[in-house]
Amino acid sequence: MTGFLAFKAHRYGSEEMKSIFSEESRLQRLLDVEAALARAHAATGNIPEKDADMISKKASTKYVSIDRVKEIESEIHHDLMAVVKAFTEVCGDAGRYVHLGATSYDIIDTANALQFKDALKIIKRDLFEFEGILLGLAEENIKTVAVGRTHGQHATPITYGLKFALWAREVRRHIDRIEDAEKRILVGKMSGAVGTQASFGRDGIRIQKEVMKYLGLKPAMVSNQVVQRDRYAELILLLALIAASLDKFAKEVRNLMRTEIAEVSERFDERKQVGSSTMPHKKNPINAENICGLSRVVKSNVSVALENVSLEHERDLTNSSAERVIIPESFILLDEMLKRSKKVFGGLVLHPENIKRNLELTKGMELAEAVMIALTRKGVGRQDAHELLRKISLAAYRKNISLKDAMLENSEVTKHLSKGEIESLVDPAGYIGTAVFQVEAVLKAARREREEKPDT
């Protein structure tokens, strides 16, 4: 069967997404393009209107069967020509005008764009819904103070609201990227064997324009035998970039779900869900791990898409076999990742007691920067204050005492800061800067954007 591989039985992806890349769906889009071409020819007076009507009427898998296409392909060993022959058979006398002036990739690449259009619609919808989930988490946890981590070590306090807001904006950028890229990706062509449109005569530019108008696509301004594969590379890069973000979010859940951290967890069905075949106590981050694993495949497809850009002369066939795999695979796996991301974060459980425990784990060390800044406001040089807090922190570690107690023992600190000031400085909730205001700004911007484009 021509076009992309059938992924109907694929373990991953929704039926909605997989149906776009099914054999029947692919065949229907090829027929849609052939019908649009016939209508364009009729509009320019090249073929009778009644023949264009017949071709359009028969441009359906109701009349052109996949089995017949495969039967012909097994004989002639050309996938698109098998479609053309099977289509011609059912069109009667009008069949003589099927595929008039077109080369295979006029039909294939234009059909590709129709698939991209439908698949990207699903991706955008899921991103929009996922953004909503993250915004909800940001608002719910706008003042949930936790320890921040850099290099895997405790840093200064952060809020979970800020973490979720950060991710929500990343998702919004992906929505924006798709909408910007669609004008370069949702492009079809009718340019003939090498791009000159010679087979369409003087009507070539008009025919191409008419075809794309019927199909709701943008015509390529110039092409050779194929739509240039920098467009396809951009598409796969975009899908991989989204996958990379989902990988990042899921990896954070996996790390925060570690037994010794346990600040968040995936929702676990205690009635039936099994964590391990041998360890009955396990509650594993299976969805987050699945997201991270699938992202590796989607990201790996980028190198193939980039290789496909450099086709020889007016084109060769090296892109074809690879695209039958990487395009449906990237869409289907990303679809699965988005569905699982919505599930993970839509059911995410936060554990306040563990968040508090971890925040207090280093006995106030995460507030050393706050004290350093306070000392500089009292007239101590910044570098001197930094060195002083470095030594105090090391001493506190050695003695296994809190930063507050270590500072109260240090005359240089108590010379500038009172006990009350020190106690206030080691309150994590007092050192979250503008985190709350930043989250509020994100929520305000997101509400405006989502109201402007509610149907994304």
Q: What is the pLDDT of residues 36-87, one digit of tens each?
A: 999 999 999 999 999 999 999 999 999 999 999 999 999 999 999 999 999 9
pLDDT score, position 279: 44
* Residue finishing a domain among 338, 356, 374: 356
Taking the CB of residue 43, how many other CB atoms lie within 10 A of it?
Answer: 19
pLDDT score, position 285: 85
Nearest to 168 by CA among 433, 441, 355: 441
Instruction: Record the tokens describing residue 124, joined without a space.
Output: 């955008």
Give the whole-angstrom CA distance, residue 267 versus residue 273: 10
DSSP state at residue 93: G
Taking the CB of residue 194, how many other CB atoms lie within 10 A of it?
Answer: 14
pLDDT band at 277 (very low <50, low <70, confident <90, very high): very low
- What CATH number is associated with residue 113? 1.20.200.10
Give Cα 10 to chain centroid, integer Å: 19
My answer on whether 242 and 387 are in the same domain is no
Strands 218-219 and 187-188: parallel
- Does pLDDT of 270 surpass 70? no
My answer on whether 321 and 397 are in the same domain is no
424 three-state secondary structure: helix
Strands 187-188 and 145-150: unpaired
DSSP state at residue 219: E
- Does pLDDT of 274 surpass 60? no
pLDDT score, position 2: 52
For residue 148, the surrounding DSSP H or E stretch is strand 145-150
pLDDT score, position 265: 93
Q: Is 341 part of the annotated catalytic residue set?
A: no
pLDDT (mean) for 233-238: 98
My answer on whether 350 and 377 are in the same domain is no
My answer on whether 262 and 300 are in the same domain is yes
My answer on whether 313 and 372 are in the same domain is no
DSSP state at residue 4: S
Sign of torsion, CA 273 275 276 281? Answer: negative
pLDDT score, position 284: 82
Q: pLDDT for 342-361, tens place per residue?
A: 999 999 999 999 999 999 99
pLDDT band at 11 (very low <50, low <70, confident <90, very high): confident
* Residue finishing a domain among 356, 386, 411: 356
The single residue of 25, 99, 265, 276 carrying the catalytic annotation is 276
Q: 64 lies in a domain? A: yes
Quote the domain boundaries for residue 192: 15-356
Q: Is 151 part of the annotated catalytic residue set?
A: yes
7 three-state secondary structure: coil
My answer on whether 150 and 268 are in the same domain is yes
At residue 162's C-alpha, the angle toward residues 160 and 163, to 5°, is: 65
Q: Which residue has the tokens 């009427």?
A: 57
Give the whole-angstrom CA distance, residue 251 versus residue 253: 5
pLDDT band at 276 (very low <50, low <70, confident <90, very high): very low
Q: 449 lies in a domain? A: no
Above pLDDT 90, what percent of the chain?
92
pLDDT (mean) for 372-395: 94
The single residue of 151, 281, 411, 418 carrying the catalytic annotation is 151
pLDDT (mean) for 186-207: 96
Mean pLDDT of the chain: 93
My answer on whether 120 and 24 are in the same domain is yes
My answer on whether 386 and 275 are in the same domain is no
> What is the tally of structural domains in the chain?
2
Q: 377 lies in a domain? A: yes
- Which of 22 and 285 is assigned the larger pLDDT? 22
Strands 187-188 and 153-159: unpaired
